[in-house]
Amino acid sequence: MHPSFYPLLALASPLALLAVALLAWRRPGARPTAVRRLGAAASFFGLLVAAGCGALVAAQGSLATPLLGVGGVGLSIRLDPLAVVMLGMVALLAVVIFRFSATYLEGDPRHGAFLGRLAATVASVSLLVVAGNLGLFFLAWVATSLTLHRLLLFYPERRGARIAARKKFLVARLGDLALLGAFALLVERFGTGELGALFEAAAGAAPGPALTGATLLIAFAALLKSAQFPTHGWLLEVVETPTPVSALLHAGILNAGPFLVVRYAALMELGGAAQALLVVVGGFTALFASSALTTQPRVKVALGYSSAAHMGFMLMVCGLGAYAAAILHLVAHSFYKAHAFLSSGSAVEQASAARVPGPRRTRSAVRIALGIGLALAVYAGLGLALGVSLDTDPTTLAIGAILVMGLAQLLTPALDGTGGLPVALAAAVMALSVALAFFGLEAGTAALLHTALPDRGPRDALTLGLTVGVLGAFGLAVLAQIVGARRPDAPFLRAFYVHLRNGFYANALFDRLVGAQRLPTRR
């Protein structure tokens, strides 16, 4: 076989999953033994396929099949380090989710149909990450959304599920139109839809109206796909769907937004306006959602806010050009969120078992300042030791500012508490370990993906200025949270808590805009 056809190996995984979907279509009922066995086998086979694709790329480098289409647009498969990482992640998630789903709906009269819809959705995502042409990428993008829609409506008699699915459907169609417009502009500009040819042409291209418009539309599609403010409300309302659907949605499908930006990073580097849009909307969503999740009493709603915040941070990082860091975050978040949802049924028991009273806070301004200063010292010291500075890598240092805020949240309670020296030393060791992991894993991911990602170009003054503003807002929020512990019963904080718990009513306004609450009740 000619080496150009080797990437067709990647099609084995989605084809096996489609076979599961077809079998489930014929056997949709309760206790679908054959569907369960085939689903488990197909998901494990997908893991083997991903490993084989990884070995192929390691030996041959990036590969793409010949185009099957006309005018440069059609069907082709592309295997590179980015595709292999994503394919392996999706395959491993599929193994876990299928195993969980085999008994989750035991006795349900449509258990087989559920497994079939799950298989079709995973097949669509698998095809998306290995698509080598704009045509196939768009088809897989839409198929992923439509198959997910059928999962969200698995229990159509639940009004809440239908409202959430309707809102998701409207947002997704807007995203589809944006992506279609972006791809049309790219084909018009470069005369091809092959990803390899597009990336090569982009390396020598100059920014222009067509590229600016295309990159803005790609950014807009990514923001809509990843439930960014103010279209995040549907993500908080899909709690009535089966738990495996929530796990697949939060751990896999939401990631399509950051993946879209990273996949077309060579083009996004030419769009300064798109970069600024990602920084502003992604950064604001990360700040807003990460604050709101702390006020939510329902586990799945809090996890929904958490996912929106993580997606926002990834998109902001993409806007800064740190694509390897975004993929590292994406993979880590996927496995964390899959575990969080699949174990959400035992959240109360886990919380009770893990609830250990912490040391009493002294609320000393000096100790709080010391904790923040120590966090800065840990990060700055490691950065200088590893050769990271504002002159050589300002983007990584800017992203690290978020890490500093997290370290401050870790160190300040330890230094401001009554736990004494042992607690403070343990917190310092943990902070140092976290900072080392950040630098090490980011460097390792960059080395792994360097052939699939473009060189990071300088950011324009607008993007850098907006980044400083977003980071300043993060800093104020963290400072308010730390200092707020000194006056937890202040009337302003209590009122702010109420508004934050309601998401500043953005979801209610969005409902009014799309008429979601006018959905009739089924009888």
**pLDDT per residue as tens digits for the range 240-275:** 788 899 999 988 899 999 999 999 999 999 988 999
Instruction: Answer yes or no: are the C-beta atoms of 511 and 520 closer than 8 Å.
Output: no
Residue 283 token pair: 């950064």
Whole-number pLDDT of residue 523: 45
Taking 70 as the threshold, does the pLDDT of residue 1 lie above it?
no
Residues 6+ apart with CB under 8 A from 460: 272, 275, 276
102 HSE (CA, 13 A, CB side): 16
Measure the CA–CA gap between 129 and 338, rounded to whole angstroms: 19
Instruction: Judge contact between 315 and 257, C-beta under 8 A.
Output: yes
Instruction: Report the predicted TM-score, pTM, of the whole model to 2 decimal places.
Output: 0.90
Residue 111 in tokens: 């258990």
What pLDDT score was predicted for residue 58? 93
Residue 395's closest CA among 286, 310, 468, 481? 468
- Res 414 pLDDT > 80: no
Helix (H), strand (E) counts: the chain: 22, 4
Q: Are 315 and 227 in contact (CB under 8 A)?
A: no
Report the C-alpha gap between 280 and 215 in whole angstroms.
15
Report the b/e string of 49-68 with b at 16+ CB within 10 A: bbebbbebbeeeebbbbebe
Q: Give the Cα separation of 160 and 240 in Å (integer).
A: 7
H helices of 416-505, where? 421-449, 461-484, 491-501
Answer whether residue 394 shows pLDDT above 70. Answer: no
Tokens representing 187 are 């084909």
Mean pLDDT for 420-445 is: 80
Least confident of 56-60, 163-167, 208-212, 344-348: 344-348
Whole-number pLDDT of residue 467: 81
Out of 114-123, 137-146, 468-477, pick the least confident: 468-477
Confidence band, pLDDT 50/70/90 cuts, at residue 519 = low
pLDDT band at 359 (very low <50, low <70, confident <90, very high): low
Backbone angles phi, psi at 321, to 5 degrees: 90, 5
Confidence of residue 108 (pLDDT cuts 50, 70, 90): confident
Lowest model confidence (mean pLDDT) among 10-19, 104-113, 295-304, 381-390: 381-390
Q: What pLDDT is stored for residue 476 in this prediction? A: 80
Question: 499-518 burial string, b = 16+ CB within 10 Å, else e?
Answer: ebeebeebbeebbeebebee
What is the C-alpha separation between 305 and 504, in angstroms, rounded?
Answer: 13
63's enclosing H/E stretch is strand 63-64
Residue type, 415: L
In the predicted structure, residue 346 carries a pLDDT above the cut 70: no
At 33, is the pLDDT very low, low, confident or very high (cuts 50, 70, 90)? Answer: confident
One-letter identity of residue 428: A
Which residue has better confidence, 351 or 309?
309
Task: Name the band, by pLDDT with cuts 50, 70 and 90, for residue 148.
Answer: very high
Pair type for strands 68-70 and 73-75: antiparallel
Q: How confident is the model at residue 517 (pLDDT cuts 50, 70, 90)?
A: low
Report whether 412 contacts 469 (CB < 8 A): no
The answer, yes or no, to whether residue 415 has pLDDT greater than 70, is: yes
- Give the mean pLDDT of 452-480: 81
Neighbour-count burial for 148-169, b at 16+ CB within 10 Å, e otherwise: bbbbbbbeeeeeebbbbbbbbb
DSSP letters spanning 501-523? HTGGGHHHHHHHHHTGGGPPPP-
What are 193-228's pLDDT values in tens digits? 999 999 999 888 888 899 999 999 999 999 999 999
Report d(CA 104, CA 168) in Å as an integer: 25
Task: Give the model's pLDDT for residue 520.
Answer: 53
- Quote the tokens at residue 242: 């089966």
Calculate the average pLDDT of the chain. Answer: 85
Helix locations, 153-208, DSSP H: 159-190, 195-203
More confident residue, 56 or 343: 56
Percent of the chain with pLDDT over 70: 88
Mean pLDDT of 397-420: 72
Alpha-carbon span 305 to 312, nearest angstrom: 11
Angle between helices 134-152 and 195-203 (to 10 degrees): 120
Confidence check: pLDDT of 155 > 60: yes
Q: What is the mean pLDDT of residues 388-400?
A: 64
**Residue matched to tokens 């002159």:** 391
pLDDT confidence of 389, banded at 50, 70, 90? low
Tell me: the pLDDT tens digits for 157-187? 888 888 888 899 999 999 999 999 999 999 9
List, for residues 274-307, the tens digit of each pLDDT value: 999 999 999 999 999 988 888 888 877 888 899 9
What are the residues facing 63 on neighbouring strands? Answer: 79
Q: Is a pLDDT exceeding 50 seen at residue 490?
A: yes
Q: Which tops the pLDDT comparison, 519 or 419?
A: 419
The residues, any chain, with a CB within 8 Å of residue 449's CB and separated by 6 or more, are 81, 82, 85, 323, 324, 327
Answer yes or no: is pLDDT of 372 > 60: yes
Given a cut of 90, whether residue 515 has pLDDT beyond it is no
Contact 75, 135 (CB under 8 A): yes
- The answer to whether residue 126 scores a pLDDT higher than 90 is yes
Mean pLDDT confidence for 100-121: 90
> From residue 169, how far is each of 75, 148, 225, 235 by CA, in Å?
26, 10, 11, 12
pLDDT of residue 137: 96
Share of the chain above pLDDT 90, in %: 45
Q: How far apart (Å, rounded) are the C-alpha atoms in residues 292 and 351?
A: 20
Between the alpha carbon of residue 271 and those of residues 175, 206, 210, 215, 216, the distances in Å are 18, 10, 10, 6, 7
Q: Which of 204, 184, 180, 203 is nearest to 192 (CA)?
A: 184
